[in-house]
Structure 1
Amino acid sequence: MAISEQVRFRVRAQAQNRCGYCRSLEKYILGILEIDHIIRKAIGGSDEEENLWLACTLCNNYKGTQTDAFDRVTQKHVKLFNPRTQQWSQNFAWSEDATEIIGLTDCGRATVTALQLNNNIAVTVRRQWVSAGWHPPTESSIS
């Protein structure tokens, strides 16, 4: 079953046209944010709105079918960040120069690693966004 346009519209509005993981705003990326299945259909997820959010292509591709990852600090496998049910600012922070995402919790650290949120492309682009005054997003603009 295809995801309806109404559901796509609601998910976009709820996500504020930002990637749920790296917080990239759609108007600044080269491409369209994708509807992300938080739990992939291939491993039992659904097309229900509660399982959908927005993700950029990089985050969505790195995530793949992962639902959990290893946190090096606690030495445990933990669930990945769920942008629908968890607050970004409670799990992540921006580095002092706003180019890297720092995991604050076991979930945040595991997600940073699993989705490679600080890959070379992302850090390079964020550096340019900072120079342009487009980044980092303000707390009021990220839920």
Structure 2
Amino acid sequence: MSENRVTAQQKKAVTKRAQGCCEYCKSQASFAIQAFSIEHITPISRGGKTTLDNLALSCQGCNNHKYNKIEAKDLVSGNIVSLYHPRQQLWNEHFAWNDTFTLVIGLTPIGRATVEVLQLNREGIVNLRRVLYVMGEHPPAESTE
């Protein structure tokens, strides 16, 4: 087996650690129409390793938009900054919900760049958040603390 392949044990540990939520946009796997991925925060193509401290649970949309990116431009400052790293940073330090819990707001250069590049407020996911909020299923408890 390739040393880059995520093992079943790693998949289980990453999913449990993330409480079934995308570690970027906070979508919940239990309401997803596509399977979630275990993604390399620092991609293998950029020297990342297949270790628990470099793996995150990601919805397909965030995973596709992130691809092999590790940095991007903060549109406010114009500076190139690192993207959000779920193992090294806390979500609530870089992001917040708007008043209706439908939009992820970037609070810092890292947060703003990540919102933009990963398109954390994609139309479909905003609509799903709206419906889940009315049902009392959104936001996930851990992202409101």
Is the TM value for this pair above 0.5?
Answer: yes
Q: Identify the residue that residue 8 of structure 2 maps to in structure 1.
A: 5
Cα offset, 1:138, TM superposition: 2.3
Amino acid at match of 1:79: S
Q: In percent, how many aligned pairs have the same letter?
A: 39
Cα distance in 1, alignment partners of residues 118 and 61 from structure 2: 8
Cα offset, 1:64, TM superposition: 0.8
Task: Indicate how the Cα distance of structure 1 residues 64 and 86 shifts in structure 2: closer, same or farther if over 3 A, else same.
Answer: same
User: How many pairs align?
Assistant: 142
Q: Identify the residue that residue 110 of structure 2 maps to in structure 1.
A: 107
Cα offset, 1:72, TM superposition: 1.5
Q: Identify the residue that residue 98 of structure 1 maps to in structure 2.
A: 101
Cα distance in 2, alignment partners of residues 66 and 78 from structure 1: 11
Q: Specify which of 17, 24, 28 is matched with residue 21 of structure 1.
A: 24
Cα offset, 1:47, TM superposition: 1.1
* Uncovered stretches (5+) of structure 2, i.e. residues with no partner: none
The reply to whether residue 121 of structure 1 matches residue 124 of structure 2 is: yes
Answer whether contact 2:6 2:38 (CA < 8 A) is retained.
Answer: no
Q: Identify the residue that residue 61 of structure 2 maps to in structure 1.
A: 58
Cα distance in 2, alignment partners of residues 92 and 101 from structure 1: 6
* Uncovered stretches (5+) of structure 1, i.e. residues with no partner: none
Task: Indicate how the Cα distance of structure 1 residues 84 and 17 shifts in structure 2: closer, same or farther if over 3 A, else same.
Answer: same
Cα offset, 1:74, TM superposition: 1.7
Amino acid at match of 1:51: N
TM-score, length of structure 2 as denominator length: 0.91
Task: Indicate how the Cα distance of structure 1 residues 44 and 59 shifts in structure 2: closer, same or farther if over 3 A, else same.
Answer: same
Stretches of 4+ aligned residues off by more than 3 angstroms: none
Cα offset, 1:32, TM superposition: 2.2
Q: Specify which of 35, 38, 50 is matched with residue 38 of structure 2.
A: 35
C-alpha RMSD of matched pairs (Å): 1.5
Q: Identify the residue that residue 71 of structure 1 maps to in structure 2.
A: 74
Amino acid at match of 1:62: H
CA deviation profile, 1:88-132 (whole Å, cap 9, x unmatched): 111100011111000011100000000011111111111111121
CA deviation profile, 1:21-46 (whole Å, cap 9, x unmatched): 00111111113211011011122222
Q: Identify the residue that residue 130 of structure 1 maps to in structure 2.
A: 133
